[in-house]
Structure 1
Amino acid sequence: MALEDAKSQVDTAFTCPERRGLSYENVFGGAASFLRRSYSKDLTGVDLAVTGVPFDQAVTNRTGTRLGPRAIREASLLQPCDPPYGWGYDPLSELDVVDYGDLAFDYAKTADFPATLRAHIGGILDAGAGSLVLGGDHSITLPILQAHAERFGPLRVIQFDAHSDLWQDDDFDRIDHGTFMYKAVRQGLVDAAHSVQVGIRTVVEDCQGFQVIDAPEVHRTGPEATARRIKEIVGEGPCYLTFDIDALDPAFAPGTGTPVWGGLASWQAAAILRGLAGITLTGGDVVEVSPPFDTTGATAIAAAHVAMDILCLYGWTRRRAG
């Protein structure tokens, strides 16, 4: 495909015969799959499956993140015409990536949701693909970590966030986006000594063994030094990356449920993510995009770029190993 093909391309999420390659379909038209990848439930030979989890029943403030996956997909349509800037390779041409669609669940049976999501991600991993999840509130990361830990063992986690989500909650039947990481540590899913939280700017009494690079430290030392420190902490073991969009300052990502001032600038986040090339990523997610509070679409655009960079990180190590 080439740029001149734009005049004949439409609905390539359903009509494109190839999984690989750039897309030149008009940004403003057609079916809005993530990065114009093909919608597919067939994971045979797939490297990475992108899936949406439209769940926001565990938030503590503003709702709306159930609409996040749809908004991130639409915002991603700005990107598939060109290789991602600064990476030096084109993951859309080198990897088989599909849009696996959204998780199906009964919204009226909230207690059943975690097991449903865990099985959904487990199915993707069992098929030999990695998972890239579009949220949804941050509580969804706990069942995702459970599915990953079943296959990879305790994970080294890189968490970009304004909040640690480590507030103590020993009622493991509760579903709460502010306590899920505490439960992940308590359940043995996370190798906290080799895990790090980046962009933090709220108080928690016990970091549960996590290393913390708070937002003021990122501002003071810069993104390159931050990326180097993250890589030193996580080392070479299997790693999961979760990116709460409120890690960004509200000036760059206003459309989220619990915004906190003093956060990362979008250029800082981009530089840090690119500086992480080489980590052994098993999967990742971007969460907490709330379109009702995202009047310009800037938050969804930022989230789509984060998701693209997670895709790039996932492919980076594999293209060199292959």
Structure 2
Amino acid sequence: MEALQFSGCKGRLLWAALCQNSFAFGTRRFSGTSLASRLCSPWLRSCKTKPGSLPIIQDGSCLKHPGAKRLASNSSFNIPPSAEFVARPVGVCSMFRLPTQRSTEGLDVAFVGVPLDTGTSNRPGARFGPRHIRAESAMVRAFNPSTGADPYHSLMVADIGDVHVNLYDLKDSCRQIREAFRKIIAGGCIPLTMGGDHTITYPILQAIADKHGPVGLVHVDAHTDTGDQALGEKIYHGTPFRRCVDEGLLDCKRVVQIGIRGSSYSSSPYKYGRDQGFRIVLAEDCWMKSLVPLMAEVRKQMGEKPVYISFDIDGIDPAYAPGTGTPEIAGLTPAQALEIIRGCQGLNIVGGDLVEVAPVYDASGNTALLGANLLFEMLCVLPGVKTI
């Protein structure tokens, strides 16, 4: 985490309020005897450290200070700090205030950002989605009492930062994303991705299919994203799943698209997907009803083979999620979104993404907050997550 250096106090404090991981990104200097005196207080001096070492809170020997409670855990997992003891604005802005690291070494799950919106056809801004989702994720707590999921005591999870992209060359960005995700999943780590526009799912699925073969897809969106081209270009956020079909990345009999709606450029906008074997669930077929029965059918359709979840935030009605580039009226509710993701529990999920959050169109931050919560729900349904 962030290393802080203060004048008037010997040594450094590696700020372990976020986690017991000792990963440091740099130093910042502060002056002032009040801060120095806090760091040199009896509770800190009681920590057993070697000369010149960083006093890291790892066990009960350093928990005498009231604010130090719950700063450490005897768990071998990365546990986000509780806001009961560590203020939410404290520390580096990471996903769910988890530790950050540069690689997937030792991880079961990695949160990763792809700040790309070069493939956007309408309102840009999704390149800022990952950082705003991270900021709003501070509101999300560690347990899921509705489902009983206890993800952080089940899987080793961290935020591995953002993939490098080329904002001036969409095809080169796709190459960089594909190569980055091949490395992420090589050791069995499951990526949960923050977009970025929906173009990013295409190179991600290229990497996923390299390891798992053609996968099933649970796709929530206002749009099918199966267009062939626009303005002469075959790669943009309206074509990712057409390109995936072209390359054999999808098990087309195990593809379901939920929440589809809006006007179209042709009289048969869903013909392509249905011809491939996709199940297309229109938004009007979801109005005013629970989607629990639908997801029971989806689980049966997906079976035990690998499944990828791709959630475009514009699948949600813009009354709840206005911060997106191509909003469509009369969409799903947040409660239905929870039913869809929770309905994926028990599936062999090998990755997931949450895309198209464009924060500039929602000053309240609610769209990014909703996105963070949906990613938490994805984490909670991954294989290996225990319930309490």
TM-score by length of 2: 0.75
Instruction: Give, in whole Å, the separation in 1 of the partners of 2:230 and 2:168.
Output: 24
Paired residue for 1:29?
90
Q: Which residue of 1 aligns with 2:281?
A: 213
Partners of 1:36 and 1:286 in 2: CA distance: 18
Q: Please state how far the C-alpha of 1:319 moved relative to its aligned partner.
A: 4.3
CA distance in 1 between counterparts of 2:170 and 2:261 reads 30
* 1:187-242 Cα shifts (integer Å, max 9, x gaps): 10001111100111135142132101111112254221121122122222100000
Q: Distance in 2 between matches of 1:132 and 1:90?
A: 17
* 2:114–2:165 CA contact under 8 A, matched in 1: no
- Assess if the C-alpha contact under 8 Å between 1:159 and 1:196 holds in 2: yes
Does the alignment pair 1:83 with 2:143?
yes
Contact 1:86-1:274 within 8 A present in 2 as well: no
Shift of 1:146: 0.3
In 1, Cα distance between equivalents of 2:221 and 2:88: 30
Equivalent residue for 1:242, pick from 287, 310, 317: 310
Alignment of 1:1-322 (within 5 A): 10=17, 12=19, 14=23, 19-24=77-82, 25-80=86-141, 82-169=142-229, 174-202=234-262, 203=264, 204=269, 205-207=271-273, 208-219=276-287, 221-314=289-382, 317-319=383-385
Q: Deviations over 1:40-67 (max 9, x none)?
A: 1242221001100000000110000000
Deviation at 1:173, TM superposition (A): 6.6
Gaps of 5+ in 1: 1-7
* Per-residue Cα deviation, 1:106-134 (whole angstroms, up to 9, x for no partner): 32333311111001011011122111110
Report the secondary structure of 1:124's partner residue.
helix
Q: Is the contact made by 2:219 and 2:257 (CA closer than 8 Å) also made in structure 1?
A: yes
The separation in 2 between residues aligned to 1:291 and 1:129, in whole angstroms, is 28
Q: What are the Cα deviations for residues 68-124 of structure 1, in whole angstroms up to 9, with x where unaligned?
A: 0001101111113x4023121210122100101001133233331111100101101
Deviations 1:9-53 (A, max 9, x none): 645485787642241231123211001111112422210011000
What secondary structure is seen at the aligned counterpart in 2 of 1:49?
Answer: strand
Determine which structure has greater relative contact order: mean sequence separation of CA pairs < 8 Å that are 6+ residues apart, divided by chain length.
Answer: 1
AA at the equivalent of 1:247: G
- The 1-side partners of 2:112 and 2:118 are apart by 18
* Superposition CA RMSD, Å: 2.1
Q: TM-score, normalised by structure 1?
A: 0.90
User: Does the C-alpha gap of structure 1 residues 297 and 214 become closer, same or farther in structure 2, counting only changes over 3 Å?
Assistant: same
Provide the rounded CA distance (Å) in 1 between the counterparts of 2:230 and 2:329.
Answer: 30
Point out the structure with max Rg over C-alpha.
2
In the aligned structure 2, how far is the partner of 1:77 from the partner of 1:195? Answer: 33
Moved more, 89-98 or 102-111: 102-111
Aligned counterparts of 1:97 and 1:230: Cα–Cα separation in 2: 27
Identity %: 35
- d(CA) in 2 for partners of 1:63, 1:262: 22
Aligned equivalents of 1:173 and 1:163: distance in 2?
18
Q: Is the 8 A contact 1:169 1:182 kept in 2?
A: no
Choose 230-239 or 71-80, whichever is displaced more.
230-239
Retained in 1: the 8 A contact 2:178–2:206?
Answer: yes
5+ residue gaps, structure 2, are 1-14, 25-56, 59-75
Aligned length: 310
Contact map agreement 2:217 2:307 (CA 8 A) in 1 = yes
Most deviating of 97-106 and 217-226 = 217-226
